[in-house]
Amino acid sequence: MTAPRLQGEVAFITGGGRGLGQAIAEALAGAGAAVAVAARSEREIAKVAADLNARGGRAIAVACDVTNSASVDAAFACAEQQLGPISILVNNAGVQGPIGPIGHIDVADWWSAQSVHLLGALLCTTRALPGMEAANHGRIINIASQAGTFVAPNASAYAVAKASLIRLTEHLDAEQAGRAIRAFAIQPGTILTEMSSQTLASPNARAHAAPLVALLESITPQASAAARKKLQSLAVDLASGRFDALSGRYLDIDWDLPAMLAEQVQSA
């Protein structure tokens, strides 16, 4: 009988209490990884961990504010003590941030969005890397967005944060060359989450980001569910090493990654 693809791996997932983080936690746990579900929302992460354990997985809930170094250190220490060394890190924690034109939005709110997306990823990566380097093994998956690849007027907080996360991924991969540590930035698709519901309910979004609102309104539950399954499949593929040759790149769930992999291997 074939062992689960991620048996023996330990994953730490930020923003794991709902939405994309919950979907990824379910996928990695289902593939055999032990999972630390981390977020500030203690009740939500406790429920996710309990559900995963009820399905036969091995999961714990870890309270964590990714913008606070001490909180990150404590969360990782707890996960390592209960589950073992972290070999998979998923930097998923994020917020929409203020919507509106620069010069007319709250600067503190704008900077807070950068802190959650970028500082959070940097703190968690900094905490995870020493163990990965000691083991010469690890994979880091940063949840980016298509919004980080183009100009999104009036949504600069989110778009700039995701663009920065993509560049951070590229630098991390370059610096880890020669080690068996891989980093990826992925576009998870358009999935209906609490964040998307909040955006749709936002007067600022409707006033200043009509294309975003129109996109979210066009997504059917069926399309959202299909994107969720693609995200889960890609998360397992990346965590298991299937696409290691594409490390350092921005990857979209709708791209033909096997074809990209074959091209990459041929050109190597």
- Strand, helix or coil for residue 62: strand
- Strand, helix or coil for residue 81: helix
For residue 209, the one-letter residue type is A
With beta carbons less than 8 A apart as the criterion, state whether 66 and 93 touch. yes
Strands (E), 56-197: 58-63, 88-91, 138-143, 181-187
With beta carbons less than 8 A apart as the criterion, state whether 14 and 38 touch. yes
Return the active site residues: 158
Question: Other CB atoms closer than 10 Å to residue 35's CB: what's the count?
Answer: 32
Nearest to 250 by CA among 151, 161, 145: 145
Per-residue tokens: 192: 């209906």
Query: Residue 224: which residues within 8 A CB-CB, separation 6 or more?
Result: 190, 191, 192
With beta carbons less than 8 A apart as the criterion, state whether 257 and 183 touch. no
Q: Find the length of the chain.
A: 268
With beta carbons less than 8 A apart as the criterion, state whether 6 and 17 touch. no
| Dist. CA 49–CA 96, nearest whole Å | 25
| Dist. CA 64–CA 75, nearest whole Å | 6
